[in-house]
Amino acid sequence: MRFLSLSFFFLSFYFSSAQPSLEEERLTNNLTYTSDLPKGLLAGRSIVLYEGSVTVADLTEAQKYFQKAGIDVISYLDVDYVLAGTDPSVVFSNYFNSRGVKFLILFQKSNNEYQSVFTEYNGKKTFGDKDHMSWKQSNTSFVELLRTIYRFAISTQKKENFLINDVPETGFAFRVFKEQNTNFSGDVRFKVAIPRWENEADEKELEAFLKDNFPVKWDPVDPNLTDAELDDKGYRMVLRFVHTRGDVARDILGYDVTQTASSLSSIYYEEKVLKIKTIPSKKMIYKFYFKNTAYGNIFVGSKWDADETWQEALRNHILAMRAELKF
């Protein structure tokens, strides 16, 4: 499969005043905010996570202020990639750890107001938590927001970072999955791991659907178990998903993004009849897939079956699997 890649072209392709995603809200709502910037910000490495509504010009301006202040941002990443799901989170957290990242900076824009969130990186796939200090500011002017950050930084901390890039580093390459298969694996007939959901109501709905529609041996499992741990317990396959923009989901899952249009045709079933609908590629969607726990390759299905709710996306995927494997 291809590598994930970002460039200024992709950055400038999307601009809106969209609301923060559910994943962003989960992250920011789980932080402990103080009146001070996280200690050591001007001595350690940082990563910026930005929303698609933040432009190239914004990021270029941010890097200028960070460089003057001594905030060493080593990379700017689209937040919809980083928070897309369990597998991407593991890959990005491993990357952050390998680069010695100590802080995360989130740039958001909603209803013509910019917000910045600074937090200590916790070294895990959850990225932040209540045990690590955070700080946030907002302003209708992005430049004024940057000026506030600069003033706070130089007035409260000693600058120890000096070799900082002049321009924001936005290009990167990651392989989230070893191999993508555009089919379904017969291994789902063996014991399948189904990670539990955080929400009790969703968990009950998930179990009820699977009991009625997934005629194979499956067990609910701890969502924090690694692929290796699941493999040790005898699970050949695990059901996972990404929740992100449609174009981002296709990139993460190994599709050729040069073939990704402004709208994506997605299959769904109505009274067991296969139908097709289109969903804008910038819409937040769920896309399920099965992953081999021993080898790390994924099975995404022969047709794009993403949808705007997890219930519909799961239904599309399971029914497509049953039709293809004939059970």
> Do 166 and 221 share a domain, yes or no?
no
SS3 252: helix
Cβ atoms of residues 217 and 321 within 8 Å: no
Contacts of residue 98, defined as CB under 8 A and 6 or more positions apart, other chains included, come to none
Pull the structure tokens for residue 191: 């014991």
Would the CA dihedral through 217, 206, 198, 240 be positive or negative? positive
Going by C-alpha positions, the residue among 43, 15, 22 that lies closest to residue 101 is: 43
- The total number of structural domains in the chain stands at 2
Domain assignment of residue 262, given as a range: 180-325
Is 274 found in the same domain as 170?
Answer: no
Its pTM surpasses 0.85 = yes
- 258: DSSP letter: G
Q: Which of 174, 207, 233 is the last residue of a domain?
A: 174
- Domain shared by 106 and 251, yes or no: no
Among 134, 102, 124, smallest CA distance to 31 is for 134
- Rounded to the nearest 10°, the torsion over CA 249, 113, 46, 5 is 30
My answer on whether 34 and 89 are in the same domain is yes
Instruction: Identify the burial level of 276 via C-beta atoms within 10 angstroms of its C-beta, where 0-12 means exposed, 13-18 middle and 19 or more buried.
Output: exposed
Q: Are residues 141 and 277 in the same domain?
A: no
Greatest C-alpha distance within the chain: 67
Last residue of a domain, which of 174, 193, 218?
174
321 shares a domain with 211: yes
CA-wise closest residue to 87 among 13, 174, 215: 174
**What confidence score (pLDDT) does residue 171 get?**
67
pLDDT (0 to 100) of residue 112: 86
* pLDDT on residue 16: 41
- The answer to whether residues 40 and 89 belong to one domain is yes
Written as tens digits, the pLDDT of the chain (327 aa) is 344 544 433 443 343 445 678 899 999 999 999 999 999 999 999 999 999 889 989 999 999 999 999 999 999 999 999 999 999 999 999 999 999 999 999 999 988 899 999 999 999 999 999 999 999 999 999 999 999 999 999 999 999 998 888 887 876 678 899 899 999 999 999 899 999 998 899 999 999 999 999 999 999 999 999 999 999 999 999 999 999 999 999 999 999 888 888 999 999 999 889 999 999 999 999 999 999 999 999 999 999 999 999 999 999 999 999 999 988
> Strand 298-299's sheet: what is its strand order?
180-181, 298-299, 284-292, 237-245, 192-195, 218-221
Residues 197 and 73 reside in one and the same domain? no
pLDDT at 13: 39
**Any idea of the CA torsion for 301, 305, 306, 308, to the nearest 10 degrees?**
-150
Measure Cα distances from 259 to 44, 104, 241, 244, 265 in Å.
40, 32, 21, 18, 12
- For residue 259, the model assigns a pLDDT of 83
Distance between CA 253 and CA 182 in Å, rounded? 10
Cβ-contact 24, 106 below 8 angstroms: yes
Q: Are residues 137 and 215 in the same domain?
A: no
Question: CA 116 to CA 153: how far, in whole Å?
Answer: 14
Q: Strands 45-50 and 32-33: what pairing?
A: unpaired
Task: Let me know whether 241 and 318 are in one domain.
Answer: yes
**Residues 225 and 250 reside in one and the same domain:** yes
Q: Among 138, 159, 174, where does a domain finish?
A: 174
Residues 6+ apart with CB under 8 A from 15: 52, 53, 55
- HSE value, Cβ hemisphere, 13 Å, CA-based, for 132: 22
pLDDT value at residue 19: 63
Residue 110 confidence (pLDDT): 86
Which uninterrupted H or E stretch holds 96? helix 86-98
As a whole number of angstroms, the distance between CA 288 and CA 219 comes to: 17
153 and 190 inside one domain: no
